[in-house]
Amino acid sequence: MNLDKQLQVDSSPQSPMWQLTIARVRDFYREPAAIFWVYGFPLVLAVALGTAFRDRPIERIPVIVVADSPNPNVDTEKILKSLGMDSRLEVTLADSAKASRDLATGKASLLVIPKGEKPLLRAEKNRPESAMALGIVEAALLRARVGEMHQGKEEVEPDIQVETVAEVGGRYIDFLIPGLLGMNLMGGGLWGLGYVTVDLRVRKLLKRLVATPMSKIHFLLSLVLGRMGFLLLEIILLLGFAWLVFGVRIQGGLLPLAAAIMLGACCFQAVGLLVASRATSYEAVSGLMNLTMLPMYVLSGVFFSSDRFPLLIQPLIKLLPLTALNDSLRGVINEGQGITDISGNLIILAIWTLAAFFMAMKLFRWR
């Protein structure tokens, strides 16, 4: 009998069940971070990805005609003229070193190398756009040959050599790994320092440190140096896994790679300290860190190129620290760039680092 009474549900407005339900609903709507992630985040993500992958005119296929001499010869001029008549192609002239680099990194879909009567077409065999470019270029060269011979009355077979190569650095996984490395450095810097700092404040441990003979800068720098101890293992794990499993290789030197990684790590650790300088609860610091990271997750080219966004906001995207870090890492890992090549991005990271750390010093409070 008592069991039957316990199983009965009191549906009156004053019942414990309804009061507890109302309390949970009120708790939810009093938490701004929860409201944002439930209602705001899907809308923000839809707008960002909808903008990046919006309907656009059909993109022209980039094709490079290779000419090591600054003055193209007759064969090169003839090829440029033939390919320039096809509106689907974006034809440029470049030397062999730049052409090979652009094919490897996906900036060019096909290389056309003039060799007298037998031009050589070099395509990346693992890239669908290279196969498409190959067919279009062959057809364009065929039309040019037909136009030269008997006004097209004879069936003409184009005398073309085709070469397919497997370029290192042009696969999607080669694009993705530097983005994941940059994302890991950002997440480690913000969560590893920002959340830890607020945890110390919430547990009243920072108040005890005030009485010690220690300045604010000593405390903040100790957090940065302590986080650096975990950095080497993170980098070795990710890059080692990418090399062993997917064959991702570092084309550039270790010095520019180390410079980009260290400066990127310092930058996001400084931003993490700034975010945590005044936050007094876990909810507040979590919301601030998510607000800081979300735009860069979407805009800074982690999973797809930031070039997909409109030109109007490209200057703003290029100034984001994660964009500068990702571009530096991809330049070194995929394109073999050196310190001077990525110096512009390193300067952006350095400015963010100094500005964020200076502001964190000014705003930081112990309680």
Tens-place pLDDT, residues 136-150: 888 888 777 766 555
Q: Name which residue leads in pLDDT, 159 or 293.
A: 293
Q: What is the CATH number of the domain that holds 105?
A: 3.40.190
Last residue of a domain, one of 165, 198, 213: 165
Q: Name which residue leads in pLDDT, 353 or 83.
A: 353
Lowest mean pLDDT of 31-40, 204-213, 341-350, name the range: 31-40
Do 301 and 178 lie in one domain? The reply is yes
Is the pLDDT at 14 greater than 60, yes or no?
yes
Comparing CA positions, the residue from 110, 114, 132 lying closest to residue 64 is: 110
pLDDT (average), residues 268-283? 84
How confident is the model at residue 3, as a pLDDT? 47
Q: What is the residue range of 80's domain? A: 61-165
How confident is the model at residue 7, as a pLDDT? 47
Do 309 and 349 lie in one domain? The reply is yes
pLDDT (average), residues 313-327? 93
Do 221 and 346 lie in one domain? The reply is yes
How confident is the model at residue 86, as a pLDDT? 79
Q: What amino acid is encoded at 64 in this protein?
A: I
Confidence of residue 32 (pLDDT cuts 50, 70, 90): low
Number of domains in the chain: 3
Cβ–Cβ under 8 Å, residues 186 and 266: no
Strands (E), 125-250: 161-165
Q: Name which residue leads in pLDDT, 307 or 17.
A: 307
Do 133 and 87 lie in one domain? The reply is yes
Do 121 and 249 lie in one domain? The reply is no
Do 145 and 186 lie in one domain? The reply is no
Strand-by-strand arrangement of the 61-66 sheet: 89-94, 61-66, 110-113, 120-124, 161-165
Lowest mean pLDDT of 38-52, 54-68, 135-149, 330-344, name the range: 38-52
Lowest mean pLDDT of 11-15, 61-65, 308-312, name the range: 11-15
Last residue of a domain, one of 165, 189, 211: 165
Do 287 and 185 lie in one domain? The reply is yes
Do 40 and 153 lie in one domain? The reply is no
How confident is the model at residue 304, as a pLDDT? 83
Do 157 and 290 lie in one domain? The reply is no
Q: Whole-number mean pLDDT of the chain?
A: 79
Cβ–Cβ under 8 Å, residues 306 and 317: yes
Lowest mean pLDDT of 77-86, 161-170, 260-269, 317-326, name the range: 161-170
Strands (E), the chain: 61-66, 89-94, 110-113, 120-124, 161-165
pTM over 0.85: no
Burial class (CB in 10 A: 0-12, 13-18, 19+), 67: buried
Cβ–Cβ under 8 Å, residues 65 and 119: no
Which phi and psi angles does 32 have, rounded to 5°? -55, -40
Do 151 and 179 lie in one domain? The reply is no
Last residue of a domain, one of 34, 52, 70: 52
Q: Name which residue leads in pLDDT, 154 or 85.
A: 85
pLDDT (average), residues 92-98? 83
Do 98 and 133 lie in one domain? The reply is yes
Do 46 and 129 lie in one domain? The reply is no
